[in-house]
């Protein structure tokens, strides 16, 4: 990984770049709800290959994930080979024929994504797009690519540090321009391609990313399959809710559901909270060896429906009480989702948490549905809730009062 320590996130305005011409035309409208699919990185990292991507596509269909809404099959870093004398980037030996792979994924009724970056190298040290943006975008379109994750990485030392040493504002301007350049190149292909910024939330990307064509932008550095990291990322989403909406989403990073040593409760809580955040839902596990309980989490349609709600509102944290926090998400038709998360380790039933409905703007008893048991649930003012470590109580109230 080729990144330097966090730069100060200067608030810069780039009115000149925020031109209407960079906004998607109606023919290119994508990501009207948060993109759903799978990405190779979190589990396979550089071990991804053509066979593995085909297997993932097969499994998305066979597992019922496709029917539940998972559509994008995204190849992350390490597909890239060398550029030839004409600047054409070739795939490496793990991906003998990208067009044939894209055709295969499309034949399953799915879409395919790829990865690059604005520097000379990707984070994994493979060839990236600097100086070849139009050429690469054209090639992606010819292959039939539907999604591009564009990762800053070596652009930092290659361009930002070199061209503007000691001038953070100028470095950020270069970064904006680089993202705008690929945005334009993608647009010029005429193919609807989801454009996903991966620059770790620098310089308040949520403020300027959409105008440069971003359909999503990473809000933090990388996720990993550990509760503390997942929770730390969740905390950083607070306050970003106003930037999310149809076509442009905060991205708290890809899912770790089913990875590492996450407990069932942690997998459930992670998935619930990413759905509350209207986050892209990109599974990151080994689908061909998925345990039934992991599949059940990833395909819980009631939870997915929160994420995919057409209003596109991201949840807000309304209040917290020690280690327990309460988030709400407004849904279409006046409905409301409430998530009560026990983020800590040490709260026992001798000291249950009491739900304060008034703090949520609710008046008295509410009828809801517990989205993990699928059963009706009645919420009463000040009701005690015993939520075990790193678990969540997730309720949809169809008609809140």
Q: Interface with ligand GAL includes 76 (CB under 6 A)?
A: yes
Query: Of 136, 146, 151, 286, which one is the catalytic site residue?
Result: 151
- Taking a C-beta distance cutoff of 8 angstroms, is the pair 1, 37 a contact? no
Q: How many residues bind ligand GAL (CB under 6 A)?
A: 10
Task: Using CB under 6 A, pick the residue from 222, 321, 323, 370 that binds ligand GAL.
Answer: 222
Instruction: State which residue, 110 or 152, has the beta carbon closest to ligand GAL.
Output: 152
Residue 222 is a catalytic residue: yes
- Transcribe 324-371 into DSSP letters: EEEEEEE-GGG-EEEEEEE-SS---TTS-EE--TGGGT--S-EEEEET
The CA dihedral of 46, 154, 192, 196, to the nearest 10 degrees, is 80
Q: Interface with ligand GAL includes 37 (CB under 6 A)?
A: no
Instruction: State which residue, 172 or 355, has the beta carbon closest to ligand GAL.
Output: 172
Q: Distance between CA atoms of 335 and 369, rounded to whole angstroms?
A: 11
Q: Distance between CA atoms of 364 and 367, rounded to whole angstroms?
A: 10
Residue 158 is a catalytic residue: no
Query: Of 58, 221, 222, 356, which one is the catalytic site residue?
Result: 222
Q: Interface with ligand GAL includes 123 (CB under 6 A)?
A: yes
Q: Interface with ligand GAL includes 236 (CB under 6 A)?
A: no
Angle made by CA atoms 217, 320, 204, in degrees to the nearest 5: 20
Instruction: State which residue, 148 or 335, has the beta carbon closest to ligand GAL.
Output: 148
Q: Interface with ligand GAL includes 369 (CB under 6 A)?
A: no
Q: Distance between CA atoms of 326 and 329, rounded to whole angstroms?
A: 10
Site string for ligand GAL, 142-181 (x = CB under 6 A): ---------x-x----------------------------
- Taking a C-beta distance cutoff of 8 angstroms, is the pair 183, 116 a contact? no
> Among all residues, which ones are annotated catalytic?
151, 222
Binding site for ligand GAL (CB under 6 A): 41, 76-77, 122-124, 151, 153, 198, 222
């Amino acid at each position: 990984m080729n990144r330097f320590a966090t730069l100060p996130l200067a608030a810069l305005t780039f009115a000149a770049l925020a031109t209407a011409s960079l906004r998607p035309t109606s023919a290119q409208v994508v990501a009207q709800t948060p993109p759903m699919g799978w990405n190779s990185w979190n589990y396979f990292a550089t071990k991804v290959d053509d066979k593995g991507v085909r297997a993932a596509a097969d499994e998305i269909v066979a597992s019922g994930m496709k029917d539940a809404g998972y559509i994008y099959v995204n190849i992350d870093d390490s597909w890239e080979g060398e550029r030839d004398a004409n600047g054409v980037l070739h795939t490496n030996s793990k991906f003998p024929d990208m067009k044939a792979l894209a055709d295969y994924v499309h034949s399953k009724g799915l879409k395919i994504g790829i990865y690059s970056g604005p520097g000379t190298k990707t984070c994994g040290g493979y060839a990236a797009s600097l100086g070849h943006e139009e050429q690469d975008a054209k090639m992606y379109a010819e292959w039939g690519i539907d999604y591009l994750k564009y990762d800053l990485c070596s652009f930092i030392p290659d361009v930002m540090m070199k061209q503007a040493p000691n001038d953070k504002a100028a470095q950020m301007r270069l970064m904006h321009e680089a993202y705008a350049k690929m945005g334009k190149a993608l647009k010029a292909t005429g193919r609807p391609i989801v454009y996903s910024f991966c620059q770790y939330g620098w310089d308040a990307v949520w403020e300027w990313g959409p105008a440069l064509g971003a359909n999503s932008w990473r809000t933090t550095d990388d996720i990993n399959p550990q509760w503390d990291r997942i929770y730390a990322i969740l905390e950083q989403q607070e306050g970003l809710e106003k930037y999310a909406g149809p076509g442009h989403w905060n991205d708290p990073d890809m899912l770790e559901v089913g990875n590492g040593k996450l407990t069932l409760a942690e997998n459930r809580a992670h998935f619930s909270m990413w759905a509350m955040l209207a986050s892209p839902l990109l599974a990151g596990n080994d689908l061909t060896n998925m345990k039934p309980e992991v599949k059940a989490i990833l395909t819980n349609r009631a939870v997915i429906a929160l994420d995919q709600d057409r209003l596109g509102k991201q949840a807000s944290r309304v209040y917290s009480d020690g280690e327990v926090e309460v988030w709400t998400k407004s849904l279409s038709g006046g409905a409301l989702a409430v998530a009560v998360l026990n983020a800590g380790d040490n709260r026992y039933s001798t000291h249950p948490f009491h739900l304060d409905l008034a703090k949520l703007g609710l008046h008295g008893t509410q009828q809801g549905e517990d989205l993990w048991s699928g059963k009706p649930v009645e919420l009463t003012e000040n009701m005690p809730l015993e939520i075990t470590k790193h678990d969540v109580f997730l309720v949809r109230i169809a008609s809140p009062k």
